[in-house]
A and B are shown apart, each in its own frame.
Chain A
Amino acid sequence: MRFLFKTDYEDDIRLFPHSGYYVSYGLLLAVLLIAPYVLSSYLMSQLVFVCIYATVGVALLILTGFTGQASLGHAAFLAIGAYTAAYLQKYGVPFPVYFLAAGLLTGLIGALVGFPALRLQGIYLVIATISFAFIVEEILARWESVTNGNEGMRIKAVSLFGVAVSRDGPTFYFLCLAVLVLTIVGTLNLLRSPTGRAFVAIRDSETAARSMGVNVALYKVKSFAISAAITGFAGVLFAHKLSFISPEMFTLQLSIEFIIVILIGGTFSLHGAVLGAIFIVMIDPFLTYLKDDMPGIIAGIAATFGAGTQAAANVQSKVAAFASLNGLKGAIYGIIIVLFVLFEPLGLYGRWLKIKLFFQLFPLYKRATFKRQKIYVKSERNR
């Protein structure tokens, strides 16, 4: 185990506390840079989605994880970013301009959503953000002169310095990776400066934050705006990756997927957003695999245990029918959320920290280290 001897205030400020971090993050970066030349095109495509989902995850972490304001409306922010890009591209606006414009517009709308949110807490805020998402979805479907309604919009490939960048090529992947890395670095910077600390203060006790001079309303709106703006940037990349967008892509289910990203990854650290994004992007092909192959496998097992050909075929068709039920995916997502909240509230990153500590302290690791302790109960809280 490594002990850090801090000799300078700089030690509390720097992003990488010791040299080991440079090695591990350097290696990670090297792997990510080589990836497009090694991995199959399918996996590369998945990796691009991981980058986009992780960017949204970081945005959601700023709002939900660090400021404590829940949101089920991030699909709408993503949609606003995507549609702004598609609309502006139609009029020949260059990529860097509409990329920034999409982020700014989404941030502005995020701030507007933040204002009513000032008076709402917990579940009521969730309801308000859901209704915002439905409103946006409806507008996208009806405002046909701009959004082309339910027929959706095509979006051409990114053109950087006059060169078209294929959505399947390595350059587009590097673009998404750069956006993710810049988002993470910016967020880390924010978290080590007064604004980030004000966010955390609001999450843990609004009264105390106020009495320390934090303008709670202003910082909540700021948090909404920043989170929405980042999601807007991700929306542009999302639109380019899909090359076609329509209102039914930005439903409540997508917002829930973003919540899953941070819940499963872990809500207390930016690592969680990336791990959660990997999880959510990789679970989809896994579910498809189960859906396609499970009936055959189960029928095979049934046959080996002496069921007749007729019975095995019967089982196979029943399982196949069950696997193609509508809403099964949503149900599986629901079960995953429940299980994580119950048994792994710190998420995948929390599990990683536990495993790391287990080996660092071996054989002295205590399970109670990560147990939440409530030493006393708060009475008469001021709101």
Chain B
Amino acid sequence: MSYFRAESLSLHFGGLKAVDAVSFAVEKGEILSIIGPNGAGKSSIFNLISRIYRPTSGRIFFEDQDITEQPPHDIARLGIARTFQNIELFENATVLSNLLVGRHRHSTTQLWQELLFLPGVRADEKVHRRRVEQVIEFLDLEPYRDKLISGLPYGVRKVIELARALCSEPKLILLDEPSSGLNVEETDDMSFWIRDLKSELGVTVLMVEHDMSLVNRVSDRVIALNYGRVLAMGSPAEVQEHPDVVAAYLGA
């Protein structure tokens, strides 16, 4: 049984088939990249998994559990975290509170306890804070702890989004174009971090990416999509040499 599995997943907007009967599986501990030209349906697959969209048909399984009908906030509770292509951070909050929101799925305190800030809440907060600090250290975010997001440059925000996803201690992380808008050095850093995610934290990674050099460096397997359909699946080299993939990118 696979760790994560999508079975003939479809998303139709009227007559447009954004995702058309896509099936794939992710093994525990691997880095799987989804590539494809613009509009191929890559981000739509992510939005289906995190339940921003409801699939027209098909099922999604995670750890042998059918999660197709789960409400969106339960997806995170199951241990699937994600980042967004266009950065969805909490703009008017500090980096620290952004990362602490990432800990939300681990919070157990009740409202009345929080109103009184009972010792249990305080102890919980310290645990959250310690976990957040570990992520801050992992991603070198020490200079930004108390800064507001709205004043930070794009590259840093991108890392903070990854950090927020990591704070939830996910089992599976969905990275939507982790290198978009980053310069060469930042992309290098990102590729190291993605590999460390796998080797040090044991997180399974599902990633959408355009930058082929990054895909080649980090991926174990690659899926190529076009017009919502799977063109090819396999190792990075295999997929890039696949005639359909070449045709999709360069024209027949």
Instruction: Report whether chain A binds chain B.
Output: yes
> With a CB–CB cut-off of 8 A, which chain A residues contact B101?
197-198, 200-201, 209, 212, 214
Number of interface residues of B (CB under 8 A): 48
- Pairwise interchain contact A212-B111, C-beta atoms closer than 8 A: no
Smallest CB separation, A221 vs chain B (Å): 12
> With a CB–CB cut-off of 8 A, which chain B residues contact A382?
47, 52, 84, 88
**B121 interface residue, CB < 8 Å from A?**
yes
**A356 interface residue, CB < 8 Å from B?**
no
> Whole-angstrom distance between the alpha carbons of A204 and B52 in the complex?
17
B83, closest chain A residue (CB): A211
Q: Knowing A211-B75, A212-B104 touch, does A9 contact B86 (C-beta < 8 A)?
A: no
> With a CB–CB cut-off of 8 A, which chain A residues contact B150?
372-373
**A150 interface residue, CB < 8 Å from B?**
no
> With a CB–CB cut-off of 8 A, which chain A residues contact B151?
373
- Pairwise interchain contact A211-B76, C-beta atoms closer than 8 A: yes
> With a CB–CB cut-off of 8 A, which chain A residues contact B84?
207-208, 211, 382
Mark A188-230 against chain B: 1 for CB-CB distance below 8 A, else 0: 0110111111101101110111111111100000100010000
Q: Knowing A12-B129, A212-B168, A213-B77 touch, does A381 contact B97 (C-beta < 8 A)?
A: no
> With a CB–CB cut-off of 8 A, which chain B residues contact A216?
73
Q: Knowing A192-B117, A193-B114, A382-B52 touch, does A13 contact B73 (C-beta < 8 A)?
A: no
> With a CB–CB cut-off of 8 A, which chain B residues contact A119?
none
**B116 interface residue, CB < 8 Å from A?**
yes
> Whole-angstrom distance between the alpha carbons of A196 and B93 in the complex?
12
Q: Knowing A195-B114, A372-B150, A373-B151 touch, does A204 contact B89 (C-beta < 8 A)?
A: yes
Q: Knowing A194-B109, A213-B76 touch, does A200 contact B129 (C-beta < 8 A)?
A: no
**A305 interface residue, CB < 8 Å from B?**
no
**B5 interface residue, CB < 8 Å from A?**
no
**B90 interface residue, CB < 8 Å from A?**
yes
Please classify the interface of chain B as helix (H, G, I), strand (E, B), loop, or mixed, using the class held by over half of its residues: helix
- Pairwise interchain contact B73-A197, C-beta atoms closer than 8 A: no
Smallest CB separation, A196 vs chain B (Å): 8
Interface centre among B74, B84, B133 (most CB of A within 10 A): B84
**B12 interface residue, CB < 8 Å from A?**
no
**A95 interface residue, CB < 8 Å from B?**
no
- Pairwise interchain contact B89-A205, C-beta atoms closer than 8 A: yes
Mark A287-325 against chain B: 1 for CB-CB distance below 8 A, else 0: 000000000000000000000000000000000000000
**B249 interface residue, CB < 8 Å from A?**
no
- Pairwise interchain contact A197-B50, C-beta atoms closer than 8 A: no
Smallest CB separation, B50 vs chain A (Å): 5
* Partner of A204 from B47, B91, B126 at Cβ < 8 Å: B91
- Pairwise interchain contact A212-B81, C-beta atoms closer than 8 A: yes
Smallest CB separation, A189 vs chain B (Å): 4
- Pairwise interchain contact B125-A192, C-beta atoms closer than 8 A: yes
> Whole-angstrom distance between the alpha carbons of A166 and B181 in the complex?
66
Q: Knowing A13-B122, A189-B115, A190-B115 touch, does A207 contact B92 (C-beta < 8 A)?
A: no
8 A-B pairs with CB atoms under 8 Å apart are: A13-B126, A194-B109, A200-B93, A210-B76, A211-B76, A213-B75, A213-B77, A268-B92
